């Protein structure tokens, strides 16, 4: 069953039932080793899923749940391997979406749910996207309208002592640092793809202190994720007209995705509606990537929003889409 969250639609199953969780992997075409997030109705329920919760975990849960934050914690013994991919940790989150919370409260247990798309494809932000992607393979799609946030949750790993951001998302790094009372380490993958290795680099929120780390990459951090069929190129607004002219000259169908209308474009360019500021951009991002394919574009020239707040997650997704070409 698919259901809406404030970030993207999820494909849910009883997290305590390994056979039900296995079915999610089959439908998504997702490798078994990749863990899924367990969705809960309220923060107090994390005790049933995590072996221990550090003070930072309670502080973040209290500040941001329900909301677009996933906490990685040491797993409780009862958590099936199907959920964790065999890892010693489990990802937990309380979503901020009325239908999702109603579902979770009525169910009473944890709902394991990855994004409701085929592995490696653009995440769904409407019920229609889920249908288009998964078709008859999903028995029921709860329709909660378009997702309010539009990009996936921010993932924070609390299982290694020092909190770390593993995936940029709907909750900003600054908001996390403010509650923790110190800058939080950011370690999102910046290289590699679904088939090859993935390099992880770390940096403080201000871009300080880069250093390499070795870890199993989360699938949401693989560079080849979030890609439409169209090739995505990320560039500054000032470079768009020139690049578009070159591509048009090569006979390509060229589209534009940018925060604002860009003036002086060559004729023949297919500009998508302006995406707006960071929050509006995040909300429409995946819909626009799908629209690029619906229009049959060969290349989508994408101008990211300023990389502050949720804008950092939007820029991150665009770069991953671009790297998949």
Binding mask 113-132 for Mg ion (x = CB under 5 A): --x-----------------
- The structure tokens listed for 135 are 């078709």
DSSP 197-219: ---EEEB-TTS---EEE--PPPG
Q: Structure tokens of 166?
A: 């593993």
Instruction: Decide: 299 and 136 in contact? Cβ < 8 Å.
Output: no
Q: Which of these ranges, 84-92, 107-115, 138-146, 296-304, lies near Mg ion under the rule CB under 5 A?
A: 107-115
Q: Does 84 bind ligand TXA (CB under 6 A)?
A: yes
- Using CB under 6 A, which of 97, 126, 153, 190 touches ligand TXA? 153
Q: Which residues does 260 contact at the CB level (< 8 Å), separation at least 6?
A: 237, 274, 276
68 token code pair: 């677009």
Binding range to Mg ion, per CB under 5 A, among 54-62, 109-117, 200-208, 291-299: 109-117
User: Minimal CB distance to Mg ion: which residue?
Assistant: 115
Which one, of 304, 286, 297, 305, lies nearest residue 325 by Cα? 297
Identify which of residues 71 and 254 has a Cβ nearer to ligand TXA in the complex. 71
Q: How far apart are the first and last CA of the chain?
A: 31
Q: Residue 15: left if φ>0, alpha if ψ -120 to 50, beta else—which one?
A: alpha
The smaller minimum CB distance to ligand TXA, of residues 10 and 311, is found at 10
Residue entry with tokens 């989360």: 218
Binding residue for ligand TXA (CB under 6 A) from 70, 125, 190, 287? 70
Instruction: Pick from 8, 94, 138, 302 the residue near ligand TXA by CB under 6 A.
Output: 8
89 in contact with ligand TXA (CB under 6 A): yes
CB of 98 to ligand TXA, least distance (A): 15
Assess 125 for contact with ligand TXA (CB under 6 A).
no
Candidates 27, 43, 50, 90; binder of ligand TXA (CB under 6 A) is: 90
Q: How far is CA 86 from CA 83, 167, 214, in A?
A: 8, 20, 18
Q: Round to whole Å and give the CA distance between 41 and 52.
A: 19
Question: Which positions lie near ligand TXA, rule CB under 6 A?
Answer: 5, 7-8, 10, 34-37, 70, 72, 84, 87, 89-91, 93, 95, 113-115, 152-153, 155, 167, 218-221
Binding site for Mg ion (CB under 5 A): 115
């Amino acid at each position: 069953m698919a259901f809406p969250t404030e970030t993207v639609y999820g494909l849910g199953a009883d997290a305590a039932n390994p056979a039900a969780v296995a079915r999610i992997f089959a439908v998504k075409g997702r490798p078994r080793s990749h863990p899924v997030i367990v969705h809960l109705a309220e923060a107090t329920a994390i005790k049933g899923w995590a072996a221990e919760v550090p003070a930072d975990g309670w502080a973040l849960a209290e500040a941001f749940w329900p909301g677009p934050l996933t906490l990685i914690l040491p797993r409780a013994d009862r958590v099936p391997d199907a959920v964790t991919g065999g890892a010693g940790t489990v990802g937990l989150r309380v979503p901020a979406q009325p239908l999702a919370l109603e579902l979770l409260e009525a169910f009473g247990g944890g709902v394991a749910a990855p994004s409701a798309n085929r592995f490696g494809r653009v995440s769904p932000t409407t019920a229609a996207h889920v249908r288009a992607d998964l078709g008859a393979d999903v028995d029921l799609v709860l329709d909660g309208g378009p997702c309010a946030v539009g990009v996936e949750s921010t993932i924070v790993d609390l299982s290694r002592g020092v909190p770390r951001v593993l995936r940029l998302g709907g909750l900003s790094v600054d908001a996390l640092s403010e509650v923790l009372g110190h800058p939080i380490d950011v370690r999102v993958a910046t290289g590699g793809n679904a088939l090859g290795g993935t390099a992880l680099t770390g940096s403080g929120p201000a871009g300080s202190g880069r250093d390499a780390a070795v870890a199993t990459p989360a699938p949401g951090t693989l560079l080849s994720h979030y890609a439409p069929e169209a090739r995505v190129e990320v560039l500054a607004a000032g470079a768009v007209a020139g690049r578009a002219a070159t591509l048009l000259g090569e006979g390509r169908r060229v589209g534009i995705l940018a925060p604002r209308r860009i003036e002086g474009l060559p004729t023949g360019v297919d500009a998508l509606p302006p995406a707006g500021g960071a929050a509006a951009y995040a909300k429409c991002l995946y819909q626009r990537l799908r629209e690029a394919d619906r229009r049959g574009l060969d290349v989508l020239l994408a101008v990211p929003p300023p990389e502050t707040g949720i804008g950092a997650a939007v820029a991150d997704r665009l770069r991953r889409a671009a790297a998949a070409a």
